[in-house]
Amino acid sequence: MDLACDGTEAILKIFIGCLVTLPNLHTLEIISMGYYPESLRRALNGAQLPQVRTLVLPYVAHDLLRHCPNVDDLTYTPCHHDREFIESLVMGGQKLRRFAVMSPVNGIVWTGKECSQNPERTT
Structural domain span for residue 31: 9-116
Q: What per-residue confidence (pLDDT) applies to 85?
A: 73
3 domain residue, yes or no: no
47 domain residue, yes or no: yes
pLDDT tens-digit series, residues 27-43: 998 877 766 778 888 88
Counting the structural domains of the chain, the total is 1
pLDDT tens-digit series, residues 7-17: 577 888 888 99
- Do residues 22 and 53 touch, judged by C-beta distance below 8 A? no
H or E segment and range at residue 109: strand 109-110
77 domain residue, yes or no: yes
Length of the chain: 123
Q: What per-residue confidence (pLDDT) applies to 119?
A: 42
For the chain, residues with pLDDT lower than 50 are 1, 112-123
Q: What per-residue confidence (pLDDT) applies to 122?
A: 41
Angle at the Cα of 97 (from 91 to 102), degrees rounded to 5? 80
DSSP string, 65-99: GGG-TT--EEEEE--S-HHHHHHHHHHHT---SEE
36 domain residue, yes or no: yes
121 domain residue, yes or no: no
64 domain residue, yes or no: yes
91 domain residue, yes or no: yes
Q: Which residues contact 48 (CB under 8 A, 6 or more apart)?
A: 20, 67, 69
123 domain residue, yes or no: no
